[in-house]
Structure 1
């Protein structure tokens, strides 16, 4: 994975590609991801989740309307107005949003435990939830449960993305080789959020990698 190839496959700036290419190359080798089709899909999913390799932490600055649309079973109208962003009037409360949205699932304790905020999305592919942090801790050999911010370090951000797609969701490589974008997106995201952007990124990566 050269910087030139990464820039062509993702559309990111050469300077950013130069920083990420060696980290991704090492991670792909470490976790045995060699299929060009799988690499293209991984780059597309990572590109979307990280906003073009720019963001390593989940943005929880949700508006009231977004909270009601994304988590209708977690936020009623009063809760959304209390914690969501109202432009020109009120800032969002990211910690409360994470605790409510992610509390009591993905291995997290209830909202009051703070696990939702503690194990919010981090890394290139936005590892989320205590169970996934525990799995990544085992795969990466770093104490993520105690120090979740380690996923904000570029080497661990890259390693976690590749390890997640290779081992935590083992069907990812097969689905990528079958060119099933929707299946891979569901594995990564839990739904089809941002599918059009993922598809555009995927098609670009396929061309660059000559798949």
Structure 2
């Protein structure tokens, strides 16, 4: 359990930095998490921050993402994958002059068997959505079933902040990332999310900001 004094210190740092954590009372709830997300992204997230903070307050506890290190690593990866929480939907290139209605860039994924895609338009329908970019018909089917939501018929729902956080927490837990975060092992966390180390420097920068409110040092590979 994190001591209330440590929460108070984190809230005070957020407040002094210009990010409103709500009452500085040692209770790190939705408003504090929203402020921390904004601080990590280095920009005010406004309504989206409130939505994310509310979802994180519920799901972090359920999935055991409850220590400064675990939460910091989660936020750092989330901020990188979403461009500072700007994008919860993968961007395409738009539809070109060809006769079909599908995004030209995303069409390359239409028949990717490893993603479970098999039909024209599947690349666009099941494009990356959410915090860690849920991608492909098979993943939409799997995570939708786990959540009791029909993401095959309603794939846009994966980009709703509440569901995006829940799916990201499931993804995080499936890959045993709490233990990697406990070791402050940024490279392992990154590899299990990304499959490689793309954007490692950017992830490290976000991690440094996320940790700053707790007075923690950089990751052990810095």
On the 8 A contact 2:109/2:117 being kept in 1, the answer is: no
After TM superposition, the structure 1 stretch with the greater mean CA deviation from structure 2, 130-139 or 149-158, is 130-139
Match of 1:176 among 178, 181, 185: 181
Render the CA deviation track for 1:152-201: whole Å, top value 9, x for unaligned: 2221122112221123x2x2222222222222222222222222111100
Match of 1:135 among 124, 142, 146: 142
Is 1:61 aligned to residue 108 of structure 2? Answer: no
On the 8 A contact 2:110/2:121 being kept in 1, the answer is: no
Unaligned runs of 5+ in 1: 63-82, 84-92
Between Structure 1 and Structure 2, whose CA radius of gyration is higher? 2
Larger relative helix fraction? 1
RMSD: 2.6
CA–CA separation in structure 2 for the residues paired with 1:43 and 1:177: 14
Match of 2:155 among 129, 143, 148: 148
On the 8 A contact 2:36/2:210 being kept in 1, the answer is: no
Deviation of 1:129 after TM superposition, in Å, equals 1.8
Is 1:194 aligned to residue 202 of structure 2? Answer: no
Compare relative contact order (CA 8 Å, sep 6+) and give the higher one, 1 or 2: 1
Residue 77 of structure 1 corresponds to none
Residue 212 of structure 2 corresponds to 207
On the 8 A contact 1:60/1:94 being kept in 2, the answer is: no
CA–CA separation in structure 1 for the residues paired with 2:66 and 2:102: 38
Q: Would you say how many aligned residue pairs link Structure 1 and Structure 2?
A: 180
| TM-score for both structures, normalised by structure 1 | 0.73
| TM-score for both structures, normalised by structure 2 | 0.70
On the 8 A contact 2:110/2:120 being kept in 1, the answer is: no
Q: 1:155-166 to 2 correspondence within 5 Å?
A: 155-166=162-173
Residue 111 of structure 2 corresponds to 103
